[in-house]
Structure 1
Amino acid sequence: MRRMATHFPPGDHDHGACVNTLVARAELQCASNQARLTPLRREVLTLLAASHKAMTAYEILQEMVMGGSRKPAPITVYRTLEFLMEQALVHRIESRNAYFVCYRQGGHVQPVQVWICRNCGVVAETCSTQMASLIPQLADQIGFTPATTVVEIEGVCRVCQTQA
């Protein structure tokens, strides 16, 4: 099975390559949607891409200050994250109110499964229609109609397993 960019990166992973690829894709995607990838939007996207982790808006603010940037208001970061989600560049983990980069070419594809490493915090995503097809079946059995389906799975990634 071929390792996809949306899966957990290996321990010796080059984050710089991910950031460069993602920012280039973001520029093309924004241009095709007639939207602007402003310096602030680029900075937030770069911070998320460099870590491969889900981050809250306040964690992003903290990283911006530590990196020497001016400190924007929290609402500015939230608006930036909304923009990045609209452009299909970022996902939100509802249970954590945190955001992570969507590495999938072409953006958000439903249904999404989010895999969260409880040790290192790295996040990966998959889009398994097989897994998602079980949810309507189960919902029907209990008389429930789901509106959205995002499955969050927490565990330990391969890198953390080998370090234990």
Structure 2
Amino acid sequence: MTADSLLQQAQLVCQKKGARFTKVREQVFLLLANRQGAVGAYDLLAELKELDAAAKPATIYRALDFLSKQGFVHKIESINAFIMCHHFGECNHPVQLLICDECGHVEEIQSNNFDLALRTMADANGFIISHQIIEAHGRCKNCNNV
């Protein structure tokens, strides 16, 4: 799917939710949609400054926060980066990320079995999961084949 078609889809999601998809948010969305893999906020800010010289760190962080809340991107806490969501617009789906420590590739996977096991363990401990992002670090298949 192209970045423009993803943007159109995102605009529809925002319209249905009554969320304001500003020009800056759209620009940040397109920067992420045109990238493969994860990117840091300051790298995105540098790219955004090419489009809007007045952009500041707060500008990018507000846009990323909005995109995250809409379910368009995930924040990868362990490497302080962001990635486009593969399950577009589903804000609350469980997220499992495989992060390659060699090349930086990030793969989003979804395992219902893993989610069920984690929720079962949480329930047994009287814990209610409100948000789930699991990050696993290692080596991807490409780096393993080198």
Range into which the TM-score falls when normalised by the shorter chain: 0.7 to 0.9
Worse-superposed segment, 84-93 or 118-127: 118-127
Q: CA deviation at 1:158?
A: 4.3
What does residue 23 of structure 1 align with? 7
Match for 1:103 among 73, 78, 86? 86
Q: CA deviation at 1:134?
A: 2.8
Paired residue secondary structure (1:130): helix
Does 1:82 find its partner at 2:28? no
CA contact 1:51–1:122 (8 Å) conserved in 2? no
Match for 2:18 among 20, 30, 34? 34
Paired residue secondary structure (1:103): coil
Paired residue secondary structure (1:51): coil
What does residue 132 of structure 1 align with? 115
Q: CA deviation at 1:111?
A: 1.9
- Identical positions, percent: 34
1:146 and 1:108 mapped to 2: Cα distance? Answer: 17
Paired residue secondary structure (1:151): strand
CA contact 2:95–2:132 (8 Å) conserved in 1? yes
- Using the size of structure 2 for normalisation, the TM-score is 0.79
2:127 and 2:39 mapped to 1: Cα distance? Answer: 30
1:30 and 1:140 mapped to 2: Cα distance? Answer: 33
1:26 and 1:130 mapped to 2: Cα distance? Answer: 29
AA at the equivalent of 1:45? F
CA RMSD of aligned residues (A): 2.6
What does residue 55 of structure 1 align with? 39
AA at the equivalent of 2:87? R
Q: CA deviation at 1:48?
A: 1.3
AA at the equivalent of 1:82? D
AA at the equivalent of 2:13? Q
1:137 and 1:41 mapped to 2: Cα distance? Answer: 37
